[in-house]
Structure 1
Amino acid sequence: MAPARTPVLRHLLSCQTRTLRASNQRRWAQVHDVRFLATTQQPRSVLERYRDKLDRKAREEGHADIDSLKAAYADKIKALRQDAVAAPLTTTTGPAPSSQPEAASQQQQQPPPVAAAASHPAPPKSTSSASPTGIKPLSEILDLQKAAALPLEELTAIWRLRHAANPNSLCAVIPAATFATMNALARAHPQFVLPVPHPQQGGAEMHFLQWTWDAPTRSATVLFTRLAEYKARGEFAAPHTTATHYYGDELATSAAAAAGGGKGGVVLMQGAVVADRGVKVEEARWLVMCLQRFYGGWDGVESRERAEERRRLLEWFGKGDARFSVEKLMEEAERMG
């Protein structure tokens, strides 16, 4: 994960104290680990600790400096990091997310009998065609030819049932038009921060998110990492939750899926919460819901004013605009609760 390069993070530290003091009557009186917002560069302590070894390694391999060495190994570092999160992305069992408005994701319909889902299993594969990033193509998870011919209700039920046994899994069936809006905003603003409320502790914890795209599998993955973890490890920080969206043409333009109620087909999302990283599944679901709202997934459901305000926060954060603030972010998040 590349470190965020947004000047607005430095600005937030200077106004953090007075912002939190001014909001002490609000439901979330403070933000834990928000001090990290002052850090926009890779942690210096790690780099300095190994600078001599890195310099020596660079000289041995004929590189001019450490930056040149990092550039040469960029692909390998990215591949290794993706391998670390690939297992959650390809999980095929787990519970459906908690209830959300129907227009947000079309993911809460009750499944028909298991027999209906079992009649359309994914075809067996003798060899894997997974991307170098470790993400499986959707064709290895579902029989796309059969899935594209299914009514939306049955396709949704099958997708939910494939994730029904793993308590750490997430899944969703999203209208393709809705995801197109989210994807366009994500490409313009691939990094953002979101709060998770902890009312019992009188505050909220900040989480960093980053979108990545994988062309071979035609998927977009969101990686969620605790802000404190990202501060400590920079691009080597391990995400606690992943959510992969498959936007390939097979289902995104499916006439059968559209006939079932989704305009222009659907996009399937699957993800998982990594165990033993201190984040509950309910908190991960909250982050996914916030992701949808801030990236336009609920446009048309909420008021135009709220949608525009969240979009402005995305733009201000991405551009390093001083108008972005933690308090405004929390106000918008509170309105979702």
Structure 2
Amino acid sequence: MAAARVPMLRHLLSSQTRALRASNQRRWAQVHDVRFLATTQQPRNILEKYRHKLEGKARDEGHADIDSLKAAYADKIQTLRRETDAVTAPLATPPPNTPPTPHSQPQQQQQQQQQQEAKKQPFSSSSSSSSPTGIKPLSQILNLPKASTLPTKELTAIWRLHHAALPNSLCATIPASTFTVMEDLARANPQFVLPVPHPEQGAEMHFLQWTWDAATRSATVLFTQLAEYKARGEFAAPHTTVTHYKDLMGPREGEEGREEEGVVLMQGTVVEDRGVKVDNARWLVMCLQRFYGGWDGVGGEGGKVRAEERRRLLEWFGRGDGRFSVDKLMEEAERMG
């Protein structure tokens, strides 16, 4: 059953956006050629606006209709058009080798200075997305050439500071080797369920789905309440979206010229009014990292045993193995609390 649910959440965000846009469009909406509206409609509207006055002037001067009036004034109209064309003619374009004027030099220098300053900034000013999935590339969030030169400690501080003012955001910096382990397990087991404990109400189950976007070199996890998913299927909307950017996974130069391990930058968003608090989303992200091998090796020999148990639960769920049980999942989650 879990395998049958794979296509349902793969493009959930994009399908929800398309459905919303479609509901706001009227069925009789038409597409018009803007050039046609600009060059053809306007003269006809002017003629209709002044038709009554033109017909009156034609009668006063003894003409049968407006066309006869236009023919009588044809020479005058042509003269006025030539005078108007002379006034609105474009300025001559200087030859390519013409040196810049004294006034243009400070402007060029200012533009060059602005470009150089932009390269020094860690964050990019671009806001549009070039991916069909709607995921914004990291290059439109960070100035990658600048970010790639920063030590991991400084890059982490900047990344956290960037998200500090957003109350519904999540962020993290993950070592490249750690994320490699997580991604390998995710590709083999892209769906799983995780509990969120509520002291007074037991625990609430959440369904997660991994997706990948080659255009942005990212891996995204969608979290949805399991009850919501069971009730609405492919129409269930995620309450939290977490995207991992892999652009900076290569080795980097650290402090004092020492080589450091690459990193993966993670950022997430918790949607308001979906019944999930930011603290709940943080817990889910921590569980995600634990069950997908992000914390393997932590805790000595006992930690290795627990990591192996979590991995078995992950694989059993992916295969639909009967040995998977919610009780065992809850036990492992409680050990992490």
- Provide TM-score, normalisation by structure 1: 0.64
Structure 2 partner of 1:99? none
Decide whether the 8 Å contact of 1:176 with 1:252 is kept in 2.
yes
Structure 1 partner of 2:112? none
Structure 1 partner of 2:314? 314
Letter in 1 for 2:288: L
Structure 1 partner of 2:276? 279
Taking a change above 3 Å as real, the CA distance of residues 280 and 75 of structure 1, as seen in their structure-2 partners, is closer
Structure 2 partner of 1:175? 175
Taking a change above 3 Å as real, the CA distance of residues 154 and 83 of structure 1, as seen in their structure-2 partners, is farther
Taking a change above 3 Å as real, the CA distance of residues 334 and 259 of structure 1, as seen in their structure-2 partners, is farther
* Larger-Rg structure: 2
Taking a change above 3 Å as real, the CA distance of residues 123 and 194 of structure 1, as seen in their structure-2 partners, is closer
Letter in 1 for 2:152: L
Unaligned 5+ segments in structure 2 are 21-118
Structure 2 partner of 1:166? 166
Letter in 1 for 2:251: S
Decide whether the 8 Å contact of 2:219 with 2:245 is kept in 1.
yes
Q: Find the residue that maps to 1:314 and give its secondary structure.
A: helix
Decide whether the 8 Å contact of 1:258 with 1:266 is kept in 2.
no
Structure 2 partner of 1:290? 287
Decide whether the 8 Å contact of 1:175 with 1:267 is kept in 2.
yes
Q: 1:283-306, CA deviations, whole angstroms, 9 ceiling, x for partnerless residues?
A: 000000000000000012131101
Q: Are 2:157 and 1:157 equivalent residues in the alignment?
A: yes
Structure 1 partner of 2:238? 239
Taking a change above 3 Å as real, the CA distance of residues 233 and 270 of structure 1, as seen in their structure-2 partners, is same
Higher relative CO (CA 8 A, sep ≥ 6), structure 1 or 2?
A: 1
Taking a change above 3 Å as real, the CA distance of residues 129 and 227 of structure 1, as seen in their structure-2 partners, is closer
Q: 1:75 Cα deviation (Å)? A: 9.8
Q: Find the residue that maps to 1:252 and give its secondary structure.
A: coil
Taking a change above 3 Å as real, the CA distance of residues 173 and 41 of structure 1, as seen in their structure-2 partners, is closer
- Provide TM-score, normalisation by structure 2: 0.64
Decide whether the 8 Å contact of 1:255 with 1:265 is kept in 2.
yes
Taking a change above 3 Å as real, the CA distance of residues 312 and 129 of structure 1, as seen in their structure-2 partners, is same
Q: 1:236 Cα deviation (Å)? A: 1.4
Structure 2 partner of 1:192? 192
Q: 1:181 Cα deviation (Å)? A: 0.3
Q: 1:235 Cα deviation (Å)? A: 1.3
- What fraction of aligned residue pairs are identical, expressed as a percent? 69
Q: Find the residue that maps to 1:167 and give its secondary structure.
A: coil
Q: 1:34-81, CA deviations, whole angstroms, 9 ceiling, x for partnerless residues?
A: xxxxxx799xxxxxxxxxxxxxxxxxxxxxxxxxxx9xxx99977323
State which drifts further: 255-264 or 215-224.
255-264
Larger fraction in helix: 2
Q: 1:163-206, CA deviations, whole angstroms, 9 ceiling, x for partnerless residues?
A: 011111000000000000000000000000000001122x1000
Q: Are 2:78 and 1:80 equivalent residues in the alignment?
A: no
Structure 1 partner of 2:210? 211
Structure 2 partner of 1:120? 121
Q: 1:247 Cα deviation (Å)? A: 1.1
Unaligned 5+ segments in structure 1 are 7-39, 43-69, 86-117
Q: 1:259-307, CA deviations, whole angstroms, 9 ceiling, x for partnerless residues?
A: 8999530000000110000100000000000000000000121311011
Which residues of 2 match residues 1-337 of structure 1 at below 5 A?
Answer: 4-5=2-3, 79-81=14-16, 120-125=121-126, 128-201=128-201, 203-248=202-247, 251-256=248-253, 264-302=261-299, 303-337=303-337
Q: Size of the alignment, in residue pairs?
A: 236
RMSD: 3.0
Rounded Cα–Cα distance in structure 1 between residues aligned with 2:234 and 2:11: 13
